[in-house]
Amino acid sequence: MDRRQRKKKGLFRKRELISLGILLISVLTLFAVTGSFSVLYVMFFKERNQSVFQQGQEIQISSTADKTSKGQDLAHYHNWVGNIKKIHSKEDDEKNVTYTYQVTFKDGSNLEGVSEESLVEVADPNYDKGDLVQIANEAGSDLDGENLAAYKGQAATINNVAPNYSNEEGGYKYDVTLDSGETLSNVPESALGDVYWVPLDSANTAAENNEILREAFAYAAETPGTVLSLPSGEFLIGSDTPQQDYITLSSDTVLRGSNTRLKVQGTAYWFGFATGTGAADGVRNFTMSGIEFRADNLETGAHFMIMADHGDNWNINNNTFTMVHKKSSHIFDLGGLQNSVFDSNRFIGYAPELTSVTGIPSEADAHDYYAEAIQFDAADNKGTWDGGLIQNLDPNYSSFNQIKHLCDNITVTNNSFLPYTDETGNLVAYGATIGQHSSDTGLIVVAYNTFTSSIVNRYKESQTDRNFNPIHFSDNSNEAVSNNVIN
């Protein structure tokens, strides 16, 4: 037996160890030359040592930021939007790194020594250029100190968005154009609010869209200063039972169309109910603009009517009413409305069934032939002026209408009252009239309107009966009629 002990071999031969050592020295030398040790350091200590924000990054000063490392108070800079210009670091004995930042702002100011805790990632503005907004009910003043109270609840379109460096609110400021065409500049974000987007659907039935409108006005009644924004497109409304399926208007409301066509099937009644015994005690501060009300059937027409019992400060502008003026009815029946404006609207077509009637039969109701598109009525509790419509719906009708109120201080300007012709040029319906045939009025200004092919001009009664004029009032009314075109 060979008693010689076998010599154990190591893991590496000597030559291999020498080669491995040379390789390791080469790698370390390469890392030293290329600066790769710092890369490894960041890789292994990244979580503990990398800055949260990077040079050139857009950031905001936190709304809770206190002071810089130099002791500068940051309260004035809350929510300001800026950029990281420089990053400063300080390492402690345990290799923990603290970062501070130099922040610059577009107004030329800058901050030194801002801690990471005082910065947040930049938030997007609430609104973009072209967005529809409204001036908020809580709006105080713009950033130049101009009071915004007169504009509360008005619709506006965003023209420009920029960072706000004027005060501690920070964030963003806006330039806007109101629907009236007036522009407002340097409006803080807090002075703007969202409009209520009315979710009408072109696939809905008229009854379904009626309900959506009711819900929208109910919301506006609970939230004064609301802009109800209608979508673009065509939407059915109306009913065969309008005394049940009606709309109740709300005060302090803007109803705004945007290439919106409401196609009326049957009849659509929208009511503004009285809220007290005073003439102005009804729907107040109501604006309606940019909507076309159009009969679903343009041969036979339909019926759309807004009836107001009292009310104040209505602005009805830039709407079109096409073949929705039924025989012996009105589009606006205004009982004692005060201080309102009707401007740049188009009323097209009245009572197509009368188009072929060249003479008024002796037994006919003359009202069928001159019924006004806009009637300036006197509100009382007799149930005659409203045809019993509001009387049958409003339990307060008798008590709220115990004092008779005339329409007063209403201006009707730049409107057109036109006939309706079909696509082939055939006359379907003549144009309508405005005024009052059964009571007096307060001041009604009718100026710079156009009346074309009014139905009343067809009849011999236009020579002897004041009601058979395109513009007609009683002898004791206080109308101011001027510069209208009648052709």
Residues 186 and 200 in one domain: no
* pLDDT band at 92; cut points 50, 70, 90: confident
Kindly state whether residue 30 falls inside one of the protein's structural domains: no
Kindly state whether residue 420 falls inside one of the protein's structural domains: yes
Kindly state whether residue 419 falls inside one of the protein's structural domains: yes
Q: How do 97-104 and 81-91 pair as beta strands?
A: antiparallel
**Which tens digit of pLDDT belongs to each residue from 413-469?**
999 999 999 999 999 999 999 999 989 999 999 999 999 999 999 999 999 999 999
Residues 105 and 210 in one domain: no
Of the candidates 121, 141, 160, which is a domain's last residue?
A: 121
Residues 115 and 178 in one domain: no
Kindly state whether residue 29 falls inside one of the protein's structural domains: no
Q: For the chain, how many structural domains are there in total?
A: 3
CATH number at residue 263: 2.160.20.10
**pLDDT for residue 14:** 62
Q: How do 332-335 and 312-317 pair as beta strands?
A: unpaired
Residues 79 and 152 in one domain: no
Kindly state whether residue 295 falls inside one of the protein's structural domains: yes
Residues 352 and 454 in one domain: yes
CATH number at residue 84: 2.30.30.50
**pLDDT for residue 96:** 86
Of the candidates 101, 121, 141, which is a domain's last residue?
A: 121
Domain encompassing residue 87: 44-121
Residues 258 and 288 in one domain: yes
| Identity of residue 49 | N
* Token pair in block for residue 332: 């606006």
**Which tens digit of pLDDT belongs to each residue from 196-246?**
999 999 999 999 999 999 999 999 999 999 999 999 999 999 999 999 999
Residues 67 and 163 in one domain: no
Of the candidates 73, 92, 121, which is a domain's last residue?
A: 121
Q: Please, which residues bridge with residue 61 across strands? A: 119
* For the chain, percent of residues with pLDDT exceeding 70: 90
**Which tens digit of pLDDT belongs to each residue from 97-141?**
999 999 999 999 999 999 999 999 999 999 999 999 999 999 999
Residues 160 and 89 in one domain: no
**pLDDT for residue 8:** 46
| Identity of residue 42 | V
**Which tens digit of pLDDT belongs to each residue from 60-74?**
999 999 999 999 999
Q: What is the CB neighbour count within 10 angstroms for residue 50?
A: 11
Kindly state whether residue 306 falls inside one of the protein's structural domains: yes
Kindly state whether residue 15 falls inside one of the protein's structural domains: no
Residues 106 and 209 in one domain: no
Q: Does the pLDDT value for residue 39 go beyond 60? A: no
For 180-217, give one letter per residue: b (16+ CB within 10 A) or e. Answer: eeeebebbbbebbbebbebebeeebebeebbebbeebb
* pTM, to two decimals: 0.84
In whole angstroms, give the CA distance from residue 49 to residue 99.
9
The 8-class DSSP code of residue 76 comes to G
Kindly state whether residue 35 falls inside one of the protein's structural domains: no
Residues 351 and 273 in one domain: yes
In whole angstroms, give the CA distance from residue 432 to residue 410.
19
Q: What is the mean pLDDT of residues 10-32?
A: 62
Query: What residues contact 294, with CB distance under 8 A and at least 6 apart?
Result: 261, 262, 263, 264, 320, 322, 323, 324
Residues 82 and 154 in one domain: no
Residues 75 and 189 in one domain: no
